[in-house]
Amino acid sequence: MAKERDHHPNKEKKLLVGVIWNFSTELKLIFMALLFIFTLATLLPFIPSSFSLSSSDFRFCISRFSPAVPVNITSTSVNKTEVTELVLDNGVIKRTFTGHGSAAYNFVTMSAYRGGVNSFAVIGLSSKPLHVYGHPSYRCEWVPLDPTQHPVSTTGFKILTDWGYGRIYTTVVVNCTFSSTSAVNPQNSGGNLILHATTGDPSLNLTNSIPVLTEPPNSVNFNLYTSPEKKKYDYLYCGSSLYGNLSPQRVREWLAYHLRFFGDRSHFVLHDAGGIHGEVFEVLRPWIELGRVTVHDIRDQERFDGYYHNQFMVVNDCLHRYRFEAKWMFFFDVDEFMYVPEKETVSEVMESLEEYSQFTIEQMPMSSKICYSGDGPARTYRKWGFEKMAYRDVKKVPRRDRKYAVQPQNVFATGVHMSQNLQGKTYHKAESKIRYFHYHGSISQRREPCRHLFNDSRVVFENNPYVLDTTIRDVGLAVKMFEMRTIGDRLLRTRQ
């Protein structure tokens, strides 16, 4: 045992020497580098001021010994110095101005659709100042895939749909109608639609040629545009951009109510601008699986600053995308509930309005802050939102917002509260036939909406008069039964 202890120090020394010997080359390099840096630091105070050594030089020196690491480098192009002024013979100093970069795009494409045998619609965004103060123009060109056929072009008719509400960008719908009905893909042999967007600058007049639509051979059903076939849907809902932290329960209630209201031959198109988060999507999932709801993810449009998440562009895309699939299209929000009198049905009301291309719908404003407690406080909190928010605002105002419905084949472009670009008549006195109840702000409350309970037929709250209106409340049980029969109890655990 004593001998073994005597040999341990020798073994440790040999091990240390072996390690140093194996890494001698690397250790020498490290010591040499440290010696060089310390020597340089000692000599720097004695170097003349005319000689400078910056920190970047140190970084370069050290980087020679460092392993290669990928670095993000932003390259900047530097233009040659341009002459910005010139003295003319008469002594006048002529100044010049040079533009650099782009503050907004000339045209942002969302979609393009065929609108008939010889017409198309292109939907997108463009610079708002360009259209307010400039004179941009559009030309549409059809280029056949068959090289033996000649391209044809026409002047594009632009429609600005946002009523002046645009921000950096404004919504533009370009109507491309070609003069000859046989000019656009007559043999169904395919082709490309090109949009030539011109800025209208008198000196530069820049033009962007944008491929917006491709039709493969034999892909067009011309009967869709020439024969009055029965539509796939009687009613199609086109929703505006959904954004913010929406309440899953309020979305559940709204959807169940309107799916029952419009019937089996209806379809709902929703546009997700950030509002359809995971919990809301779980509410939509059963109806998507049944083919009653379609969701479009439009979050990428947030890159382009337009009015209310570019809702004017979104509803115009919906209009033209489903234009030939629905007899009627409705445009309203997810905190608004449609209603027809008890003795009438939706189909009867719509039949009575068939002679009109568009009709507007009067608003019934409801409070989203006060609730009816006639069932007792405990039962009230278990009710659905539209069952307990039963007080209607009766303050007299000059006008209230309206929503609307259209026969889409007669509409060229649309807005949020009505269309101004259509053929045919518009009806503005349909309040005896159809109305909508508006629960403003309720959709974005992720909590119990009832903060103030009343059990009176008339209430004054925050200096506003309200009356008890149970019109929507009264159909609550029927809506719940409809949901249960259709999708079962999948949504029973939905939270506020």
End-to-end alpha-carbon separation of the chain, Å?
78
pLDDT single digits (tens) 279-326:
999 999 999 999 999 999 999 999 999 988 999 999 999 999 999 999
Read off the pLDDT of each residue in 464-489 and give the average, rounded to a whole number.
96
Geometric angle at alpha carbon 288, from 284 and 290, rounded to 5°: 125
* pLDDT for position 380: 81
43 or 466, which is more confident? Answer: 466
Contacts of residue 404, defined as CB under 8 A and 6 or more positions apart, other chains included, come to: 330, 331, 358, 359, 360, 361, 417, 418, 419
pLDDT at site 288 = 96
Mean of the per-residue pLDDT values of the chain: 86
Angstrom CA distances, 1 to 7, 9, 11, 14, 138, stand at 10, 14, 16, 21, 100
Q: Which of 134, 107, 145, 100 is nearest to 123 (CA)?
A: 107
Residue 24 has pLDDT above 80, yes or no: no
Give the whole-number percent of the chain exceeding pLDDT 70.
85
Residue 349 tokens, joined: 């009301």
pLDDT at residue 165, rounded to an integer: 83
Tell me the one-letter amino acid at 355: E
Q: Is a pLDDT exceeding 90 seen at residue 200?
A: no
* CB 491 within 8 Å of CB 479: no
- Residue 131's pLDDT band (boundaries 50, 70, 90)? very high
Three-state secondary-structure class, residue 478: helix
Tell me the three state secondary structure of residue 373.
coil
pLDDT of residue 10: 55
Residues with Cβ within 8 Å of 377's Cβ and at least 6 positions away in sequence, in order, are 453
Tokens at 450, concatenated: 């009832």
**Burial annotation 258-267 (CB, 10 A radius, 16+ → b, else e):** bbbbbeeebb
Contact 299, 408 (CB under 8 A): no
Torsions phi, psi of 42, nearest 5? -70, -35
- List pLDDT tens digits, range 36-62: 787 776 766 665 544 444 444 544 444
User: What band does 181 get if pLDDT is binned at 50, 70 and 90?
Assistant: low
In whole angstroms, give the CA distance from residue 210 to residue 108.
10
Q: Rounded CA gap, 75 and 165, in Å?
A: 37
Closest residue by Cα to residue 230 from 325, 318, 319, 348 = 325
pLDDT attached to residue 9: 52
Query: What pLDDT is recorded for position 74?
Result: 46
> Are the C-beta atoms of 240 and 315 separated by less than 8 Å?
yes
CA 215-411-161 angle, to 5 degrees, is 95
Residue 229: pLDDT over 80: no
More confidently predicted of 478 and 55:
478
Q: Which pLDDT score, from 0 to 100, does residue 91 have?
A: 82
Residue at 274: amino acid letter:
G
DSSP letter (8 states) at residue 433: T
Q: Longest C-alpha distance within the chain, in Å?
A: 115
Mean pLDDT of 347-364: 96
At which residue do the structure tokens 């849907």 appear? Answer: 233
